[in-house]
Structure 1
């Protein structure tokens, strides 16, 4: 007798929309300033502008567009500014949000979730909404009513990830340890831009 296969679901992604918007604005500002220096600058100015863009643009991408957390049936993949951490659910001990969002592995290693920023202001607003909902008269009022809807975005994301971890940890395909890959596509051009900029400023 064969056991039915568990249903497969597409990966869920958790990323910061304000971060992406901020990244677009910063890229536009850098392109405006750097492009003007490249076109109208004289002497070493275009070279300095090119080196500055080579340094700044990868860093903007790293801290705004790149961070995301992918969560599937077997594992979560945490893509932070300079590295990607792949964690099978069996290797995850906890997902929590205090002043920042983070995942804790069974061996005690902590990885930050850059794409799930914690907003204390949003958390306070959510707590006030929750208090008003629970204090409202009527049959729908009561402890826990509207709990999910009245939670801060980071807390909702962390709760979803924790649920996925608990549900998937026992899967045979969710076993293993953490795997880390450094983002050389970000690190190498940023370092090259930094070195070139220092050389140009020194001579």
Structure 2
């Protein structure tokens, strides 16, 4: 879910604003598969189809390819000590930590600005199934830990120290094992807590539309409508 920023040069000191990058692996995988199907069908129609079929296939590809890329490959969240940058399908939102009021997780993950505006984190989707599995693992870990405690009071580590439970039991959320996207949200909350009041983390929220996605998609839609209207 997270990949480091590789643009750091070893000859310079570690930057204070080095990005952590979060993406949805399943979203990327699904996007690659979807685009492969679109290109396969589209190119086949362009090569084998008649004139009208070729134009319809071209218009459909101009419409579908940008939108499919936008909703699968494009979403990403970039976080560092100064700001949170959200690359959603059709917009890019930059929020300095000083402008972030909270990060919420319910049926979707979202950031709430101090102005009250909410922005969904498309790159960090909520999986209720993953949460359920994490809760089940936590329950099993707790049961095993309790059984081990009754049987011998825990394992002994170096120096005679007791090690009770496991990594999962010692995880965040009051000792419960966490789903992967919930762990990501914990990371972001930690950055907010640590740097929300820092001087470099102040500034204004900026929102930019992804015209590189919107432009081609609109052009493809207009062309497709014209071709369909012409019969």
Q: TM-score, normalised by structure 1?
A: 0.93
- Larger gyration radius, structure 1 or structure 2: 2
Partner of 1:151: helix, strand, or coil? coil
Classify 1:7/1:56 alpha carbon distance in 2 versus 1 (closer, same or farther; 3 Å): closer
Higher relative contact order (CA 8 A, sep 6+): 1
Q: State which drifts further: 8-17 or 25-34.
A: 8-17
**Cα distance in 1 for residues equivalent to 2:17 and 2:203:** 20
* Match in the other structure for 1:147: 171
Tell whether 2:53 aligns with 1:45: yes
For 1:84, which of 63, 85, 92 is the aligned residue?
Answer: 92
Q: Report the alpha carbon displacement of residue 133 of structure 1 after superposing the two structures with TM.
A: 1.3
**Cα distance in 1 for residues equivalent to 2:120 and 2:226:** 34
Classify 1:7/1:54 alpha carbon distance in 2 versus 1 (closer, same or farther; 3 Å): closer
Q: Report the alpha carbon displacement of residue 150 of structure 1 after superposing the two structures with TM.
A: 2.3
Q: State which drifts further: 145-154 or 73-82.
A: 145-154
Partner of 1:77: helix, strand, or coil? strand
- Aligned partners of 1:97 and 1:154 also within 8 Å: no
**Cα distance in 1 for residues equivalent to 2:99 and 2:90:** 21
Tell whether 2:112 aligns with 1:104: yes
Q: Report the alpha carbon displacement of residue 61 of structure 1 after superposing the two structures with TM.
A: 0.6
Tell me, which stretches of 5 or more residues in structure 1 are unaligned? 1-5
Q: Report the alpha carbon displacement of residue 9 of structure 1 after superposing the two structures with TM.
A: 5.3
**Cα distance in 2 for residues equivalent to 1:107 and 1:158:** 21
Matched residue count: 197
- Aligned partners of 2:17 and 2:82 also within 8 Å: no
Tell whether 2:126 aligns with 1:93: no
* Match in the other structure for 2:219: 192
Q: TM-score, normalised by structure 2?
A: 0.82
Tell me, which stretches of 5 or more residues in structure 2 are unaligned? 1-13, 155-163
* Match in the other structure for 1:177: 204
**Cα distance in 2 for residues equivalent to 1:141 and 1:66:** 40
* Match in the other structure for 1:160: 187
**Cα distance in 1 for residues equivalent to 2:182 and 2:26:** 16
Show structure 1 runs of 4+ deviating over 4 A. Answer: none
Partner of 1:44: helix, strand, or coil? helix
**Cα distance in 1 for residues equivalent to 2:125 and 2:87:** 14
Aligned-pair Cα RMSD in Å: 1.6
**Cα distance in 2 for residues equivalent to 1:92 and 1:134:** 35
**Cα distance in 2 for residues equivalent to 1:48 and 1:7:** 50
* Match in the other structure for 1:3: none
